[in-house]
């Protein structure tokens, strides 16, 4: 088997704890708009938001809706689902985006693992997400950007993972053969399936639930020390 020469990392819920920031930002919004969210607890609001946001992102990745629709619809649909005043959706959304950035942090162990792997291999970042938001994250965590030989925000490429064009572009940026690239990510659809089509190796990060599908072209891990034992 060819050796690993380059390691790409996903950003959200892999290196950075997106789910924590999402939940904390929603909690802040609930405090700022108490009348709108009266009678609802954070667990209910977070679960409802996640249930609404995920299919919107999937539709955006498949190019069946545009970015503006995702932004406009996710909080309008959330408030509608909560029987709240949807006329406040834009204000709630704007406040959410402000507070979301205030809660960004590394996943436990991710910073140390990234640094150790970057000392041994070429590394890069390959992430979905709105370009302006992901660039803010890179600016807030400059160590990632400084260490990375390639930072690819998929929206800038014109497609989102798992579209093959994203992985083709990333392979060219890495300047190695596809089978010499390891991808570290948490999404089965975007990361595991996308990397398989590209001929990359895969390290599927599953910190919150046990993996329920096989990874024929790699392995699953739940703790960063497990990854380091395999590759560093």
Q: What is the pLDDT of residue 208?
A: 87
The strand pairing partners of 63, in sequence order, are: none
Q: Which of 202, 208, 176, 178 is nearest to 189 (CA)?
A: 202
Average pLDDT in the 104-132 region?
97
- CATH domain 18-102 topology: DNA polymerase; domain 1 (1.10.150)
Query: CA 16, CA 218: separation in Å to the nearest integer?
Result: 22
Non-local CB neighbours of 55 within 8 Å, separated by 6+ positions: none
Instruction: Report the side by side order of strands in the sheet with 122-127.
Output: 150-153, 122-127, 6-9, 181-185, 201-205, 218-221
Task: Please report which confidence band the pLDDT of residue 195 belongs to, taking 50, 70 and 90 as the band edges.
Answer: very high
Residue whose structure tokens are 């895969």: 202
The strand pairing partners of 7, in sequence order, are: 123, 182
Q: What is the pLDDT of residue 114?
A: 98
All structural domains of the chain with their residue ranges: 6-17+104-231, 18-102
Query: CA 165, CA 161: separation in Å to the nearest integer?
Result: 9
Q: What is the pLDDT of residues 5-63, one digit of tens each?
A: 999 999 999 999 999 999 999 999 999 999 999 999 999 999 999 999 999 999 998 88
Q: What is the pLDDT of residue 1?
A: 62
Q: What is the pLDDT of residue 2?
A: 82
Q: What is the pLDDT of residues 197-232, one digit of tens each?
A: 999 999 999 998 888 888 999 999 999 999 999 997
CATH node for 6-17+104-231: 3.40.50.1000
Q: Do 6-17+104-231 and 18-102 share a fold?
A: no
Region of residue 63 (phi > 0: left; psi between -120 and 50: alpha; otherwise: beta): left
């Amino acid at each position: 088997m060819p050796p690993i020469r380059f390691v790409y990392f996903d950003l959200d819920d892999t290196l950075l704890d997106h789910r924590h920031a999402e939940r904390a930002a929603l909690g802040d919004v609930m405090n700022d708009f108490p009348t709108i969210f009266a009678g609802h607890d954070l667990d209910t609001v977070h679960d409802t938001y996640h249930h609404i946001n995920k299919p919107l992102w999937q539709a955006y990745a498949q190019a069946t809706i545009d970015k503006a629709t995702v932004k406009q619809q996710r909080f309008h649909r959330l408030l509608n689902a909560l029987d709240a005043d949807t006329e406040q959706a834009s204000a709630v959304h704007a406040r959410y985006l402000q507070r979301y950035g205030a809660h960004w942090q590394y996943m436990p162990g991710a910073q140390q693992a990234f640094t150790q792997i970057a000392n041994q291999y070429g590394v890069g970042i390959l992430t979905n997400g709105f370009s302006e938001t992901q660039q803010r994250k890179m600016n807030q965590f400059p160590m990632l950007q400084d260490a990375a030989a390639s930072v690819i925000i998929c929206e800038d490429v014109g497609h989102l993972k798992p579209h093959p064009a994203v992985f083709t572009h990333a392979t060219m940026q890495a300047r190695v053969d596809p089978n010499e690239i390891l991808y570290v990510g948490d999404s089965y659809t975007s990361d595991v399936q996308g990397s398989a089509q590209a001929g990359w190796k895969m390290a599927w990060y599953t910190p919150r639930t046990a993996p329920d599908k096989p990874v024929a072209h790699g392995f699953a891990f739940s703790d960063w020390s497990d990854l380091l034992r395999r590759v560093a």
